[in-house]
Structure 1
Amino acid sequence: MDFTRILPEECLCLIISFTSPADACRSAVVCPALRSAVDSDGVWEKFLPCDYKSIILDSSSPASLLSMEKKELYFRLFCHSILIQNGTMSFQLEKGSGKKCYMLGARALSIIWGDTPDYWTWTSQPDSRFPEVAVLKLVWWLEVKGRIETRLLSSNTNYAAYIVFKLRNRRTTGFKHRPVGLNVNVDGVVPGEGRRVLLDPQDEPRHVREREDGWTEVEMGEFLNECGDDGTVEFSLKEIDTNYIKRGLIIEGIELRPKGIGSKVNNGHQCP
């Protein structure tokens, strides 16, 4: 017996809402009744984060986003990031699960001597999502820190933090032979060992990965966000050996996304 002929659409919508966005899209090809249910706002409202309205209200174009149908909004948020926090952060959804992804732009980070023109300069980059990126002119002491509250992230989710950057080729010094220290901690507790990574490796770049958006990333560490309580995740990049000059590093930001999601590294999010 075909249950789609018996159950009203409201029941079909409720059933589908307990699956995942990927499963919902698969269900749409089964029969017209499921396709109609999958297209309903009630289904996609469940897949969107419970605080999606407050996140969108903090963006630059809340009215146009909130006027969309919920399925259209979901696909918009995984195909394209939106800027929030006065353009210093970005927000995006992971395609298959609807988990939250954030990037803290360079302006949202604490960069030692970042506002000293002799050491750092701020400029726009055509392939950056942010209005400004930080360009390292010359320092001996390199230290970049960031933090985000765990309540903003998806609960019961294993996250990884990634430093997103570029190197200025011939103008780059200090990253071929001197690894930088990378660290992630939750409320002061480091979930794993800190990392030492070459940002400009000469051999096979095991840790450095090219992204489809034109930038490069290195994983800084990972952590489990269990209940999304009022905790704080902190991450840092540090190289403080003052015997070595560092220059030529361009920082776009630090991204947090569910561990194992390669959405912005090799495959990219493809809109259907």
Structure 2
Amino acid sequence: MGANLSAAAAERDGAGPAGPPSRPRLGDIPESCAALILAQLSPPEICKLARLNRSFRSASLADFIWESKLPSVYKFIVEKVLLADTSLRNLQKKELYASLCRPNPFDGGTKEIWLDKNTGGVCLSISSKALTITGIDDRRYWSHISTEESRYPSVAYLQQTWWFEVDGELEFQFPVGTYSLFFRLQLGKSLKRLGRWVCNSEHIHGWDIKPVQFRLTTSDGQHVVTRCHLDNPGNWVLYRVGDFVVENSNTLTKIKFSSTQIDCTHTKGGLCVDAALIYPSSVGKEVVKSRS
């Protein structure tokens, strides 16, 4: 009986003299071939296949795979933007990709940069404290309030003003592509009561009379102006300023942007300003869709 079982096993594995060779298994794929397959996939797909077997797991560590997923400007990000974090310089490419997919603060913590984990696209956030806000130092009109609803410790809160103007600028080396810029704003002041966030709408006024104007310009002459009324009190809204196109990843692109409502025939107030955000346009569409 034991001999029969051994013979059957030998035939199944191709060990017997007349037995057919065994069928190739996924684990038989050479590591070099597995690496070439993985290089054609997205980062999430690579991580899923790496859990299949040892061959794919080992192949998934190859630097050339992850270097192809990193943005073309990753050295600029590591050496010029995140220069304070020297630990990033000695990482394997897979570890570097994972580290850059997490929010990485720079400029004294007033800005953050991260990669979209699915595409490797460069995303940026510029906090209210890195923006130029007219009248921000006058406590009669503006104040910085603590919050847990932002990636930053505080947001700028407008109680009332005649002249609303928020300006920002950024000089950065972007990968080639199209990017969308947004302002993250909320009508109303968030308060925590009984463990829940609620909206205090006491000071909301004036935003339905005239639209807010959003403006975006770039150092290579691109110019966008959009206008819309602020609405949806009690909810953080991404207001799209516009798109800009980067055609050369080897040069710095300087962008200037603003949000204004300077009609002095009426006051406006009750507005929180969190940040300006820049996403690759395809990523920005998904972010807006997920929050709508």
Q: Would the TM-score normalized by the shorter structure come out above 0.5?
A: yes
Whether the 8 Å contact between 2:155 and 2:273 is mirrored in structure 1 is: yes
Alignment RMSD (CA, Å)? 3.2
Query: What is aligned with 1:138?
Result: 160
| Structure 1 CA distance for aligned equivalents of residues 137 and 287 of structure 2 | 29
Query: What is aligned with 2:78?
Result: 53
State the Cα distance separating 1:4 from its structure 2 match: 8.3
- 1:1-272 aligned at under 5 Å gives the runs 7-9=30-32, 12-13=34-35, 16-17=38-39, 20-25=42-47, 27-28=49-50, 32-49=54-71, 50-51=74-75, 52-54=77-79, 55-58=81-84, 63=87, 70-78=93-101, 80-151=102-173, 153=174, 155-168=175-188, 169-187=201-219, 189-192=221-224, 194-200=225-231, 215-228=236-249, 229-261=251-283, 262=285, 264-267=287-290
Distance 1:227 1:2, change over 3 A: farther
State the Cα distance separating 1:264 from its structure 2 match: 4.1
Greater relative contact order: 1 or 2 (C-alpha under 8 angstroms, separation 6 or more)? Answer: 1
Structure index of larger Rg: 2
Whether the 8 Å contact between 1:177 and 1:201 is mirrored in structure 2 is: no
Whether the 8 Å contact between 2:123 and 2:277 is mirrored in structure 1 is: yes
SS in 2 for 1:260: helix
Q: 5+ residue gaps in structure 1? A: 203-209
Whether the 8 Å contact between 2:187 and 2:232 is mirrored in structure 1 is: no
State the Cα distance separating 1:97 from its structure 2 match: 1.2
Whether the 8 Å contact between 1:56 and 1:66 is mirrored in structure 2 is: no
Query: What is aligned with 1:207?
Result: none
| Structure 1 CA distance for aligned equivalents of residues 106 and 181 of structure 2 | 19
Amino acid at match of 1:146: G
SS in 1 for 2:59: helix
Percent of matched pairs sharing the same residue = 28
| Structure 1 CA distance for aligned equivalents of residues 84 and 151 of structure 2 | 16
| Structure 1 CA distance for aligned equivalents of residues 69 and 282 of structure 2 | 20
Whether the 8 Å contact between 1:181 and 1:197 is mirrored in structure 2 is: yes
| Structure 2 CA distance for aligned equivalents of residues 238 and 115 of structure 1 | 18
Q: 80-89 vs 67-76, which deviates more?
A: 67-76
SS in 2 for 1:171: coil
SS in 1 for 2:282: coil
Distance 1:176 1:188, change over 3 A: farther
State the Cα distance separating 1:43 from its structure 2 match: 2.9
Whether the 8 Å contact between 2:136 and 2:143 is mirrored in structure 1 is: yes
Name the TM-score, length of structure 1 as normaliser: 0.77
Name the TM-score, length of structure 2 as normaliser: 0.72
Cα deviation digits, residues 121-176 of structure 1 (max 9, x gap): 1222122211332111221111111111241x2x2211000001211123211112
